[in-house]
A and B are shown apart, each in its own frame.
Chain A
Amino acid sequence: MGSGTSTQHHFAFQNAEKAFKAAALIQRWYRRYVARLEMRRRCTWSIFQSIEYAGQQDQVKLHDFFSYLVDHFTPSSHNERDFLNRMFTEERFPQDSEMDKCSDYECIEVPDTYTGPHLSFPLLPGHATALVEAFRLKQQLHARYVLNLLYETRKHLAQLPNITRVSTCYSEEITVCGDLHGQLDDLIFIFYKNGLPSPERAYVFNGDFVDRGKDSVEILMILFAFMLVYPKEFHLNRGNHEDHMVNLRYGFTKEVMYKYKIHGKKILRTLQDVFRWLPLATVIDEKVLILHGGVSDRTDLELLAKLDRHKIVSTMRYTTRKESEKQAEAKKKDDQASCAQRPTPWFLPQSRSLPSSPFHLGPVPKSPKANRSCSIPCSSPLTRQELSRQVRRSVDLELERCWRQAGFPAVGETEEPLSPVYKDLDTGELPTATREEWRQVVDILWSDPMAQEGCKANAVRGGGCYFGPDVTEALLQKYNLQLLIRSHECKPEGYEFCHNRKVLTIFSASNYYEVGSNRGAYVKLGPALTPHIVQYQANKATHMLTMRQRISRVEQSALKALREKLFAHSSDLLSEFKKRDTEKTGLISLGDWAAALESVLRLGLPWRMLRPQLVSSAVGNTLEYKSWLENLAKEQLSRENIQSSLLETLYRNRSNLETIFRIIDSDRSGFISLDEFRQTWKLFSSHMNVDITDDCICDLARSIDFNKDGHIDINEFLEAFRLVERSCSKGSASDGLPGTDAASSGPGRPGAP
């Protein structure tokens, strides 16, 4: 044995060094693991957001399409006229006086068999609380009470100013909540955690109560009930989704019609009225401004306070006084001509032919990132004529061709930009807002903050602006405010400060894209007006998952949505791949693969990072693209007897198609005839530039009519393309078919619109 202690020390030292090195290695490895998880999380988030925003652009395109139809379509035959009639008409939008007279709900009887909550008016706090409890137990409120409540709500709202002024003197703390989007679990959780509304507990709900989630109706009932019961302490702001045109596409209309088959239409019409009377903003202690979207460099709170907010039924469409005068003249001329009378489209309640969205100039924007440099400055808009002309020219050219393809008569040349050839059935017409007023409202409902200074058009959403910290600062200074609270954007933590903490985004729908995708949050303000944020995630399951499990679950959901999108563009992708395969080997490099995907989809996603998840068959650095596309198709296709290109197109446009079908099905029976389906598909496919033969369309129509009764049930159609499955993953109530998608069991769904 050598000198004992020094050997021991030597060993000890060696061991210590070993331990140190080993620990360092493990830490180094672990940190890399976590970094890769974080990267996956970010990519997943990008996928959801890019799909969501791309969908919102589609919405605007769709409305452009319809308004163009309204302006230019002259039915040449009886059949076509009837078809258009059916497609575009409905009963007139009731006037205010009519609303007062028609107590729709009084004649609705509540049967003895009804086991849901009963309401009597004037409402008492007990009623509101009972509603929360009843909905928690999954009961449904009877249509009579729904209509009664809506009627009372509208009466109440009509007395409120555009901008609600609240003080912390009365109730010490005020809680501000953001988007709920039909997610009742989150609302119930907020009331559970923060307490029910009361004279001591004030609430402000900042818009977007409906759409996407499955319990929008219940949320509205609860919010309106508390507002009636505590009018001084409970406040609502309008969001961009409190809008019947947006609801057509994003699920609220569908939810109402499913839950209220007989009275749904009445309810929806009444809701239009309620929505347009919602206040636009709330101010606390003259210091904190709360509104749904954001602001622009033109935002004028005084103008916003003065305008007639109820004239703005939908922020998606606009008309001017001057235009309607012009139209009145043109109409007089045309009345004498023997033109077919074009009916007024019911879904354009201001019953006027309208210019396309003023934000659509130039090429369609690509992705949220690509857009930041798109320069359509808010501060120097084109004149109305220039705008109109520009838009018309490009739309004209495209659609001219489509109309010819579809076999309809070509549109005449040189027209007045707006010369409707229809008779105005509505002599006591709804007064219009000015262009400036409309724009002011669009700005506060649709804008998003950005990091750079300045103010530019929000081309991603198709409405409102991106506003920079300088715009915020200027506005706060001008009106002597200290904080802007807004919602409108989903945030991973449920909230986010920006612009030197002068802007707070608050979003209250947790798990919005998918279970585990994000937290929800609300903010409390006391007399000192210091924001105190509370976060939550209304799904017990998420707490038990580790970060890794949460991320991979959400990731799977995002990838599924992304693969669907890829499939929907298979033909375009194939031609892009072929372009890059100059030697016709059937192979392309992975770099080319990524570039091709971006050029077709334009989502601005990090394709190279996502590649391992999307391509399993690469050998080295090359990919056999045809078999990759075939594998993609195999995952998606379910019906072999439908041509795959049709299927692809339908998939790509399914949200649009759904909206169109709901518009055609104007009596909301849930049925459309095979003939109507064919005509619609023809129209739509020529607009969307798809070459489809009549035979194919007939085959398609027949194959979808499962029970062969000459009618297509909208559910049949949706079922054929597994759309119902997707909406069932939100929760099986929406369409009455059993949920089959096992992967998404919680509230919220992947970001596809």
Chain B
Amino acid sequence: MADDREGTVAELQKKIKEAFEVFDRESNNTVDVREIGTIVRSLGCCPSEGELHDLIAEVEEEEPTGYIRYEKFLPVMTKVLQEKRYRPIPEDVLLRAFEALDPAKRGFLTKEELIKYMTEEGEPFSQEEMEEMLAATIDPETNAIHYKDYITTMMIDDS
């Protein structure tokens, strides 16, 4: 039993190390703090921006250098994975979120509506983020996002 648990932790840590090294450009066990979000998310977590900031605060140096060291990142991230924090969002929950923005139940959001919600509500998108999402989601013929189909497509991609 003890072996199983250790085996799992060891495997988790190898995963964390791999993900970290992909961004460790200089091969000196540090990554730019701006890449932490990508690393954490690609390890299966789905934190909000606020949660991410808190996490970064935990792994940063006392005097922030702009770089995060692996030695500080590993124990914190191991705990995150063991506790299964920041769980990803299931398909049906995502669907309900879109539906909440579409009270008339039309089945779609217009481009303008999407822009309004994504850039004014929640944790707003930057212009770059907004443009990329538009490019990928808006159906050019209707100038709208048919969210049900969209979600289905994305979920396949995501697995």
- Measuring CB to CB, which residues of chain A are less than 8 angstroms from any residue of chain B? 15, 18-36, 38-39, 42-43, 46, 369, 372-373, 450-452, 546-548, 589-591, 594, 606-609
Contacts and interface: CB of A to CB of B under 8 A. Distances in A.
Contacts of A25: 89, 93-94, 97, 122
Interchain residue pairs A-B with the least CB separation, the first 9? A24-B122, A35-B41, A23-B122, A451-B26, A23-B121, A39-B42, A22-B100, A606-B18, A22-B97
A46 B24 CA distance: 12
A39 B22 contact: yes
A608 B16 CA distance: 10
Given A606-B22, A608-B14, 15 more contacts: A18-B100, A20-B122, A22-B96, A23-B101, A23-B121, A25-B89, A26-B117, A26-B122, A27-B48, A27-B118, A27-B123, A30-B129, A31-B129, A451-B25, A609-B18
A28 B46 contact: yes
Contacts of A547: 132, 135-136
A26 B27 contact: no
Given A30-B133, A39-B19, A594-B14, A22 B47 contact: no
A546 B135 contact: yes
Nearest to B52: A31
B154 interface: yes
Contacts of B97: 21-23, 25-26
B104 to A, nearest CB: 13
19 contacts: A20-B121, A22-B101, A23-B117, A26-B94, A27-B118, A28-B49, A31-B37, A31-B49, A32-B41, A33-B158, A35-B42, A43-B22, A46-B22, A450-B26, A546-B136, A547-B136, A589-B7, A606-B19, A608-B14
Contacts of B94: 25-26, 29
Contact of B21 (A34, A369, A451, A590): A369
Residue of A25, A36, A594 contacting most chain B CB atoms (<10 Å): A25
A33 B96 CA distance: 18
Residue of B121, B123, B133 contacting most chain A CB atoms (<10 Å): B121
Interface string B97-109: 1101101000000
B149 to A, nearest CB: 15
B11 interface: yes
A594 B27 CA distance: 20
Contact of A33 (B18, B47, B121, B154): B154
Contact of B11 (A38, A46, A450, A591): A591
A591 B122 contact: no
B28 interface: yes
Interface in B21-57: 21-23, 25-28, 37-42, 45-49
Contacts of A36: 41-42, 158
B157 interface: yes
Interface in B111-143: 117-118, 121-125, 129, 132-133, 135-136
Contacts of B93: 25
**What is the predominant secondary structure among interface residues of chain B facing chain A?**
helix
**What is the predominant secondary structure among interface residues of chain A facing chain B?**
helix
B26 A452 contact: yes
Contacts of A373: 27
B27 A372 contact: yes
A451 B129 CA distance: 30
B84 interface: no
Interface of B: 7, 10-11, 14-15, 18-19, 21-23, 25-28, 37-42, 45-49, 88-89, 93-94, 96-98, 100-101, 103, 117-118, 121-125, 129, 132-133, 135-136, 154, 157-158
B44 to A, nearest CB: 9
Contact of B38 (A24, A35, A372, A606): A35
A20 B94 CA distance: 14
Contacts of B37: 31, 35
Given A591-B14, A606-B21, A608-B14, A23 B118 contact: yes
A562 to B, nearest CB: 15
A38 B39 CA distance: 9
A373 B28 CA distance: 10
A29 B89 contact: yes
A545 to B, nearest CB: 10
Contacts of A450: 26
Given A31-B41, A608-B15, A24 B121 contact: yes
Contacts of B98: 22, 26
A372 B123 CA distance: 40
A607 B22 CA distance: 11
A9 B117 CA distance: 20
Nearest to A26: B97
B132 to A, nearest CB: 6
Nearest to A373: B27
A136 to B, nearest CB: 31
Contacts of B42: 35-36, 38-39, 609
A38 B132 CA distance: 13
B7 to A, nearest CB: 8
Contacts of B122: 20-27
A29 B25 CA distance: 27
A627 to B, nearest CB: 22
Contacts of B117: 19, 22-23, 26
A46 B23 CA distance: 11
B119 to A, nearest CB: 9
A543 to B, nearest CB: 11
A420 to B, nearest CB: 42
A350 to B, nearest CB: 37
A33 B132 CA distance: 12
Nearest to B35: A38
B156 to A, nearest CB: 12
Contacts of A27: 48-49, 118, 122-125
A606 B45 CA distance: 18
B28 A24 contact: no
Contact of B157 (A38, A42, A548): A548
Nearest to B28: A452
Contacts of A21: 97, 100, 122
